[in-house]
C-alpha cells in the first residue's frame, strides 16, 4: 500500500463533496478528509446512515460536515441544480468532488439482463455523475486547486462477462473522466482522474463475491492515503489518469 503520512491540516480550508458517503469507501473517505482538515459535504441515499455519520463527525470535528440525502435513482436535473445551489450558499468554492456512489445491479449475461435495472445502474453510476459534475463545475472553477475524482473498477477497464450494466457504466465513467480532463485541463485549475479502489472490504464487494472471506481484503481505511494524496496539494500534477489505489505509485 501507498505510504503517505500527511499532516493533520493537509486539507485545511478545502471544501470537498463525497457521494456514496453512507458506507464503505465513501464513509472512510469522509472521516479521513475531516481528520485532515477539510469541510466535507456527505451525499448519499440513506438519510439514516448520513445522520449517524454526521453525529460521529460532529463529536471530533464540529461544524465541518454537512449532509445531502439524495437518491440518484430518483433524481431529475433540478435536484442536481438544488445541490449546487445549496453548496454555493455555503462555500465560496468547491475544492473536491469525489464520485464514489455506485449501484452494482445484477450479475447476468447481456442476453437476460433486465432492462429496468440496466437503466437504474446507468442512472446512478453515469447520468448522476455527469449531472452533478455539470452543475458543480462553476463552483469547482472558483477553487485555486480543485479535484474531480471518479471511481473506476477493473471491470470498467477490461470487459468481463456477467458484469452487465455495472461494467459498462464504469467504462463510461472512464470516458467521462477523459473527456472532462481534456476540456478543463488548460482553462481551469481543476484536475480530473479516475481511481480504481481494487477489491475492498465493503458491502458491495460482499454482494458481488458472496463466497469470499472479507478479512482477506484491504479495508477502505487502508486506501485513504491515496485519496488524501490525490485530493490534496501533492496530487496537483496528476491529471487525466486512470489510477489504481492498490498499486499507486505517483
Q: Does 49 bind ligand NAP (CB under 6 A)?
A: yes
Indicate the residue among 23 and 185 with the shorter CB distance to ligand NAP.
Answer: 23
Question: For cell 445502474, what's the residue?
Answer: 121
Indicate the residue among 45 and 191 with the shorter CB distance to ligand NAP.
Answer: 45
64-83: contacts with ligand NAP (CB under 6 A): 70-73
Q: Does 169 bind ligand NAP (CB under 6 A)?
A: no
Q: Does 232 bind ligand NAP (CB under 6 A)?
A: no
From 24, 96, 164, 235, residue interacting with ligand NAP (rule: CB under 6 A): 24
Indicate the residue among 40 and 124 with the shorter CB distance to ligand NAP.
Answer: 124
Q: How far is CA 170 from CA 81, 151, 228, in A?
A: 24, 8, 22
Q: Does 133 bind ligand NAP (CB under 6 A)?
A: no
* Least distance CB 86 / ligand NAP (angstroms): 16
Q: How far is CA 178 from CA 42, 55, 78, 184, in A?
A: 25, 37, 26, 10
* Least distance CB 235 / ligand NAP (angstroms): 18
Residue-wise over 38-72: b if at least 16 C-beta within 10 A, else e?
bbbbbbbbeeebbeebbeebeeebeeebbbbbbeb
Nearest to 15 by CA among 43, 44, 41, 53: 41
109-128: contacts with ligand NAP (CB under 6 A): 124
Among this protein's residues, is 166 annotated catalytic?
yes
Question: Do 138 and 92 form a contact (C-beta atoms < 8 A)?
Answer: no
Indicate the residue among 76 and 92 with the shorter CB distance to ligand NAP.
Answer: 76
Q: Does 185 bind ligand NAP (CB under 6 A)?
A: no
Candidate ranges 5-13, 20-28, 51-59, 228-236; the one touching ligand NAP (CB under 6 A) = 20-28
> CA–CA separation, 215 vs 60, rounded Å?
28
Instruction: Given the residues 4, 54, 166, 229, select the one marked as catalytic.
Output: 166
* Least distance CB 46 / ligand NAP (angstroms): 3
Q: Which residues bind ligand NAP (CB under 6 A)?
A: 20, 22-26, 44-46, 49, 70-73, 100-103, 124, 151, 153, 196-197, 199-200, 202-205
Active site residues: 166
Amino acid at each position: 500500500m501507498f505510504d503517505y503520512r500527511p499532516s493533520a491540516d493537509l486539507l485545511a480550508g478545502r471544501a470537498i463533496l463525497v457521494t456514496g458517503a453512507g458506507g464503505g469507501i465513501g464513509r472512510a473517505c469522509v472521516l479521513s478528509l475531516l481528520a485532515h482538515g477539510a469541510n466535507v459535504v456527505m451525499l448519499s441515499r440513506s438519510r439514516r446512515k448520513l445522520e449517524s455519520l454526521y453525529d460521529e463527525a460532529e463529536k471530533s470535528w464540529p461544524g465541518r460536515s454537512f449532509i445531502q440525502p439524495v437518491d440518484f435513482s430518483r433524481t431529475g436535473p433540478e435536484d442536481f441544480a438544488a445541490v449546487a445551489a445549496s453548496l454555493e450558499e455555503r462555500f465560496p468554492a468547491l475544492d473536491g468532488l469525489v464520485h464514489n456512489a455506485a449501484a452494482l445491479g445484477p450479475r447476468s449475461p447481456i442476453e437476460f439482463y433486465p432492462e429496468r435495472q440496466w437503466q437504474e445502474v446507468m442512472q446512478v453510476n453515469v447520468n448522476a455523475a455527469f449531472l452533478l459534475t455539470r452543475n458543480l463545475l462553476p463552483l469547482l472553477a472558483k477553487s485555486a486547486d480543485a479535484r474531480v475524482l471518479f471511481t473506476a473498477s477493473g471491470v470498467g477497464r477490461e470487459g468481463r462477462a456477467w458484469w452487465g450494466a455495472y461494467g459498462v457504466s464504469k467504462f463510461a465513467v472512464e470516458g467521462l473522466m477523459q473527456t472532462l480532463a481534456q476540456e478543463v485541463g488548460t482553462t481551469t485549475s481543476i484536475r480530473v482522474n479516475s481511481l480504481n479502489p481494487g477489491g475492498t472490504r465493503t458491502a458491495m464487494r460482499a454482494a458481488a463475491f458472496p463466497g469470499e472471506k472479507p478479512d482477506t481484503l484491504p479495508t477502505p481505511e487502508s486506501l485513504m492515503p491515496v485519496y488524501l494524496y490525490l485530493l490534496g496539494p501533492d496530487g496537483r500534477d496528476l491529471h487525466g489518469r486512470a489510477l489504481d489505489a492498490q498499486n499507486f505509485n505517483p
